[in-house]
Structure 1
Amino acid sequence: MCGNNMSAPLPTIVPAACKATAAVIFLHGLGDTGHGWAQAMAGIRTPHVKYICPHAPVMPVTLNMNMAMPSWFDIISLNPNAQEDESGIKRAAENVKALIDQEVKNGIPSHRIVLGGFSQSVISKNKDISVLQCHGEADPLVPLIFGQLTVEKLKSMLKPSNVTFKTYSGMTHSACPEEMMDIKQFIEKQLPPINS
């Protein structure tokens, strides 16, 4: 992702329209790439925000009969009690941290960087972090109950009033314009322009 993982190409970047004073790092879902999400972010861009859409390395995924595909780590099963690829998750987290560190080196303070993703869960030691979790009510791949369980877990780990859960009627394992507008409003609230 960030130079230390040679199997993944460099991230797709949607540059800020003016001087970047904030950044969004957005991770794609299993089997996807950052290209489509960069296009989606370009559609909701805020002028002072740089959007970074990295590409996961291609690897065999146990869940999909060991087929090689872009994945941040191996996924054994969608069962909530399934074994997890701890070393792969740690490696993916280190790669995301490297992206954040690079943006800090580029002059964007860490508190002006938002981390998001499709079909992802982010856990932080920062209890005051704001989270927007979106879920399609008709998602056949990741059932709504998993999203509801995840949001309850997040509320138990973070400040509950900072966790927002939005669902979208009829939306499957995809995105919709209403969701993208909610994401845009969340980003604008978290990363307002800096008055110079």
Structure 2
Amino acid sequence: MAQAFDGIELTTGDTPAWAVIWLHGLGADGHDFEPIVPQFARRDWPAIRFVFPHAPIRPVTINNGVRMRAWYDILGLEIAQRQDVDGIYASVKAVDALIAREAARGIPSERVILAGFSQGGAIVLAAGVRHARPLGGIVALSTYLPMAERTDAERSEANRAVPIFMGHGTQDPVVGVALGQMSRDYLANLGYRVDWFDYPMPHSVSPKEITDLGDWLGERFAAAAP
């Protein structure tokens, strides 16, 4: 029996042709990026279903074991060194289930965009390059590629050409821009098309980033139009 969806959904039209599955960051929930939809959805876009799942509630080591919504545990300050591999894989599996849920509702994987911020961005990168069917794109904001050393062996042939948007603040004290750049370069060296954008901001999202992301998404939708 399929697990009930835990999160929020918004649609921009009666019959969505695309889905954007958007994962929040550590300690937030699906409501975090809900207000972004009216800010950047454009009139010439096809109807879209925005899916904002809530992460499970779990103890987070770096926060003294306090329970909060998290896609995986954070074991220490060196986030790319000590990684909760089991937690990451579990969330990758959850993303796969969300993609399958959209397919069951009539939106094929080719018209699914995975998006995420911080922890959520790490999961969509890990899930996107491993997903068995082609995706419409990956949006990774203020984040990094987890389990980078496993990527080449585990990535899917179906998504070797998936377009990737990476946005990062140059003043980010949580996920340093250097780590984001290393992830960008690692993916590019594997042959992925990565569109990189950086902004003079901390661990956040800026209006310019939203504009750039809207332009990028518009390109994806236009390229897939009949």
Q: Do Structure 1 and Structure 2 share a fold, with TM-score over 0.5? A: yes
Q: Give the secondary-structure state (helix, strand or coil) at the position aligned to 2:75.
A: coil
In structure 2, the residue matched to 1:100 is 99
Runs of 4+ in 1 over 6 A off after TM superposition: none
**Bigger relative CO (Cα 8 Å, ≥ 6 apart):** 1
1:138-185 superposed Cα distances (whole Å, 9 cap, x missing partner): 1111111111111111112343xx20110002x110101111111112
What letter corresponds to residue 36 of structure 1 in structure 2? Answer: D
Equivalent in the alignment of 2:37: 41
Aligned residue in 2 for 1:131: 164
Question: 2 CA distance for matches of 1:177 and 1:74?
Answer: 30
1:30 aligns with 2:60: no
Aligned length in residues: 187
Q: Distance in 2 between matches of 1:16 and 1:194?
A: 17
2:148 — aligned with what? Answer: none
Q: Specify the alignment match of 2:189 in structure 1.
A: 156
User: Which residue of 1 is the match for residue 133 of structure 2?
Assistant: none
Q: How much does 1:188 deviate?
A: 1.7
How well do the aligned residues superpose, as a CA RMSD in angstroms? 1.8
The answer as to whether partners of 2:18 and 2:46 remain within 8 angstroms in 1 is no
Structure 1: runs of 5 or more not aligned:
none
Which secondary structure state, in structure 2, belongs to the residue aligned with residue 191 of structure 1?
helix
**Superposed displacement of residue 104, structure 1:** 0.5
Give yes or no for the alignment of 1:13 onto 2:9.
yes
CA distance in 2, matches of 1:73, 1:179: 26
Q: Is the 8 A contact 1:76 1:82 kept in 2?
A: no
The alpha-carbon distance between structure 1 residues 127 and 140, as it changes in their structure 2 partners (threshold 3 A), is: same
Distance in 2, matches of 1:28 and 1:84, equals 19
Larger helix fraction of residues? 2
**Structure 1 185/78 Cα, relative in aligned 2: closer, same or farther at 3 Å?**
farther
The alpha-carbon deviation at position 80 of structure 1 amounts to 5.2
Which residue does 1:176 correspond to in 2?
206
Cα distance between partner residues in 2 of 1:24 and 1:137: 26
Q: Is the 8 A contact 1:58 1:69 kept in 2?
A: yes
Q: For structure 2, which runs of at least 5 residues remain unmatched after alignment?
A: 130-155
TM-score, normalised via structure 1 length: 0.88
Mapped partners of 1:164, 1:194: distance in 2: 21
The 1-side partners of 2:99 and 2:112 are apart by: 7
